[in-house]
Structure formats: structure tokens, C-alpha cells
Structure 1
Amino acid sequence: MSRAPITKTGSERLRAELDRLKSTERPRIIAAIAEARAHGDLKENAEYHAARELQSFTEGRIAQLEGLLSTAEVIDVSRLNAGKRVVFGATVDLEDEDSGAAVTYQIVGDLEADIKQNLIAVSSPIARALIGKSAGDSFEFTAPNGVKHYEIIDVRYL
């Protein structure tokens, strides 16, 4: 079985979510089920059914997080010594050669990718195009809306 790479920060974020689900959400849901059960007839008790559905969702997420974390390979990005070359964990400043717009991405594992936070998966097309390049290089990749041309302005390991 292959181990999925994840940054130390991403691992800590997932562990914090797991801890919150186990220590806060799980007891709150159990209390809600007990309260709804006390109201009587369970067949027509919407509160009970909603609490049980939430419990099922929460237990599924707990199992998913435990599974992901048990197979993840945590990589401390601050200890990487790749210089100005782009590898997993790099924070990359890019400039769109067509529009001049600047953007910054960090290349992370699939488990922690979140485009809203500029965390791109190592398996994404743009990350695959970046890997192995250095500051000052230009590259292109095929995005859903066409071919994009970027220049790598800087590469950092935070």
C-alpha cells in the first residue's frame, strides 16, 4: 500500500479536526440522541432521526480521518533542502505571462488540497507542470479553460 504525502501543517490540521470530532461533537450528538429518545415514540421523532443521521455522518468522518492519517507520510517542508527547485511542499510565486496577474500556491498532498487557501494537490495539472522547475523558469499547462503560461518568480519552503 502506498503512503500518501502530507505536509506537517496539513497533518496537524486533520488531527485537530479528528480531536474536535471525538472530544466535542461525538459527546454532543450522544446527548442529543438521549434527549430525543426521552421524548417517546422513535418512529415519528424527527429530532431522534436527525441526531442519528448526524451521528452516522460524524462517525464516518472520524473513520475516514483515522484511515487517512494512518496511511499518510508526514513531510516537514521546513527541513527540505531543494534550493530554488520546485518539489513537494514548495510555496511558489507565479506570474501569469498573459495577464500579468500574480498568484501564490503551495504544493501539498491530495488529502489537504484546498484551492480556496491556495493549497494545490501534488497530482494537479499545474503542480505536475511545476515539479522540477526552478525560479525564473517559464512553463505552460492545460487548464480546463485552455493553455496557461506562467513564470516562476520565487520558490520558498516555509
Structure 2
Amino acid sequence: MTKKILTSKIMIFILIVFAIYFPLTINMTKQTDRRTVVVAVGIDKNETDYTVSMQMIVPEASTSFKENLQVYSANGDNILQTIENLSIHIGKIAGLGNLSAIVFGKEMAKQGIVETLDFFVRSKRINDNPTIITTNAKAKTLLEKVALIDNNFA
């Protein structure tokens, strides 16, 4: 008899917990709505600040697989601040876990990339092996051209 009472009390407790938390989980936003996947980062240096451009995958609802690449840019005094400004600008958390390339513009490459590479190497948010690229133009221009080509032929 006491076993039935004990199991019924446990079941009632489970039902109460379920009734309290289930409506909360229905109204929670999906994690994918708050995050974006960054495929490549471009870093340019101006006289006073940095310009960081991120090539991001923007998901599209369709029956076929197609990724839509967009490039967003922001300015800041250092790389971390610029990435945070960019996240605020797009309204999502920039997920650098799938980062496959870091592109340095001409001016940035002239001034040296060691400190910036050190930032990315020490960051726990990115994978261990992105490709390092330097360009004779601005890094943002290269990322925009790659995104345009990729979107046209995908």
C-alpha cells in the first residue's frame, strides 16, 4: 500500500514539474535563431581602427540544399570589440566554430598579423585549422566576391 502511495506521489511531482516547465520550453526561441555560422573572417586595418568582415551562412527554407552566404562588416578599436560590434549589428551570436578561413587585407598584412593570429589561436571559440590568406586588396572585397560566386553557382 505504501508503495502505491509513494509511486503516486512521485508521479504527481513529475506531472507538476512537467506542467510548470513545458509551457516555458514551447515559447523558448531555438538556438539556431540566436546564432549564425561564420565561414570566413576578413580583417582590414585603417589608420585608426580595424574593419572585420564575416562571411556567414544565412539559412533558407527550401526543399533543396542551398546555403546563402552574406558578408557583414563592422569597425572597432581591436579585433574582439569589432567582433562584438558585428554580433550586435546583426543581432545574433557569431559562431566561429566552423571558421575555415582568415583573410588579411593588404594594409593589415603590411603592419603584421602576428598579434591578430595570436588572438585567434588563443580563442576557444574557433577550430584549430583555419586557412590563412592574404590579399592585395581589402579582405572584405575578397569575401564579397567569393560569396557572390558561391551564391550564383550553388
Higher Cα Rg, which structure: 2
Give the TM interval when normalised to the shorter protein: under 0.3
Q: TM-score, normalised by structure 1?
A: 0.26
Q: TM-score, normalised by structure 2?
A: 0.26
